[in-house]
Amino acid sequence: MQKNDLLSHIASAGYNVGFGAKKNFATFDIVSKIPGWIGIISLAVSILGLYMDEMSSKHIAAIFIILSVGSLYINFYDGDKNKYEEAGKKQTAIFRKIERLYYDAKSENEPDSIKYIGKLDILMKEFDETTITKQICGSNWYAHYKFFSEMEKRWIEDQLSLTFWKDKFPNTLKLSILIVFCVILLSIIYRFN
């Protein structure tokens, strides 16, 4: 295996592990924080509704009923939230080991690819053992944000030539924006016809 191919293989594994760690942390954050924020906002709107008629409308009430149902969905994950935090910590430690492996291989003129692939396989087995496949809705988008804004991952970006639109911006978010844009456009067209 050529050196550049080996480095790309290690960086690709590092991306998967780092993103997996941030996805676990994203689920942990959503489960830990969102229900509290929903409660605080609901309380504030309820208080405002006492003296502002606009804040006590049926529309506002319907929105908060929907948010409350969403909060119930989030609570299904509450019993396991510590597992997500622990998996995120373990996977971050594996990510750091892969990063060291990458720099060790990069520092050699002709790295022994069999040796490095063997070490990487051991780390990926550790990663697989800590993987939690059941993640909360929205964790993928939040994990993209957390990975690309909080984690030191320049070595991955440089090695894999990651770009903002193609790699760092979630495809499902692109699709959602497109759908919202089409719905708005269709509603405008419908309104003026």
Same domain, 12 and 68: yes
Same domain, 176 and 188: yes
Two tokens, residue 114: 């069999």
The closest of 10, 1, 16, 32 to 113, measured between CA atoms, is 1
Q: Are 105 and 116 in contact (CB under 8 A)?
A: yes
Same domain, 26 and 88: yes
Same domain, 84 and 176: no
Domain count of the chain? Answer: 2
Q: Measured between alpha carbons, how far is 16 from 147 in angstroms, rounded to an integer?
A: 11
The closest of 108, 87, 105 to 155, measured between CA atoms, is 105
pTM (predicted TM-score): 0.82
Same domain, 184 and 148: no
Domain limits at 9? 3-161
pLDDT tens track, the chain, 193 positions: 899 999 999 999 999 999 999 999 999 999 999 988 988 888 888 888 888 877 777 888 888 888 888 888 888 888 899 999 999 999 999 999 999 999 999 999 999 999 999 999 999 999 999 999 999 988 999 998 999 888 888 899 999 988 878 878 888 888 999 999 999 998 888 888 7
Same domain, 34 and 19: yes
